[in-house]
Amino acid sequence: MLNRWQSVIKYNALLALVLVVVSGLAAQREVTCTPAELARQQAALADALAAAAERIKADPYAALAAWFETGAAAQDAALNCGYIPPDVATRAVGDDVPRILNLLDEVSADPLNGQLLYNSDTLACYGCHVAQAGEAAPALDGTYTRVEETRLLDPALVEYSITQYLIESIVHPMEYVVPNYSAVMPTDYGQRLSLQDLADLLAYLESQDGASPE
């Protein structure tokens, strides 16, 4: 009897292990840089570290700064090749629109928090974008509708998705300036917003699907 239970327990433990391994593999992301490209980047980083080491005697502080920058460059290289860090939701989202589009699945967006952010004094979106059409910036009302029915018809935006347009409008506002408005939107939101913040803002803007006043 005991033997039978022992084997059941062993079997279950084995099953659990297999499940952990399989789900671990499933969680691994696709690497988009080839081994050759990774090797090339690694060599460049190694050169940078070697150069930093040479400066240690002459200028230790500059050497540390170079170390720090090389570390950041190594992180960027991994991110650009498809690595998704565990704290992806809270890091600065940056301004790489295709990468941001890929990452959006990693968080679940909250439009109510998006509304709070939109109206916060820190981001001050509402300072320019009022509900109804203002002179300074396009209206908040009907943003989703307007993007779908007006903006994306512009030949300059062919093959854009609505989300892609909205992300670009926020992290790269100079890329496409809405006709009849001036390019006054701050250009540093990619550094100021986390992925979670941006996803929440997008969810809020995408909920503006009534008639557009413009």
Q: Which residues bind ligand HEC (CB under 6 A)?
A: 123-125, 127-129, 136-138, 143, 146-147, 151, 166, 169-170, 173, 177-178, 181-186, 189, 201, 205
How far apart are CB 105 and ligand HEC at their closest, in Å?
A: 20
How far apart are CB 53 and ligand HEC at their closest, in Å?
A: 42
How far apart are CB 131 and ligand HEC at their closest, in Å?
A: 13
42 vs 187, beta carbon nearer ligand HEC: 187
72 vs 183, beta carbon nearer ligand HEC: 183
112 vs 177, beta carbon nearer ligand HEC: 177
End-to-end CA distance of the chain: 78
How far apart are CB 193 and ligand HEC at their closest, in Å?
A: 7
Tokens describing residue 190: 């990619």
CB 140 within 8 A of CB 206: no
62 vs 183, beta carbon nearer ligand HEC: 183
Tokens describing residue 96: 């790489």
Tokens describing residue 52: 């930093």
Burial of 103 (0-12, 13-18, 19+ CB in 10 A): buried
Tokens describing residue 46: 């190694």
How far apart are CB 167 and ligand HEC at their closest, in Å?
A: 9
Which residue, chain included where needed, has tokens 């090389």? Answer: 70
How far apart are CB 147 and ligand HEC at their closest, in Å?
A: 6
- Pick from 95, 107, 85: nearest CA to 200: 107
CB 196 within 8 A of CB 87: no
52 vs 185, beta carbon nearer ligand HEC: 185
78 vs 178, beta carbon nearer ligand HEC: 178
CA dihedral in degrees (175, 178, 179, 184; nearest 10)?
A: -80
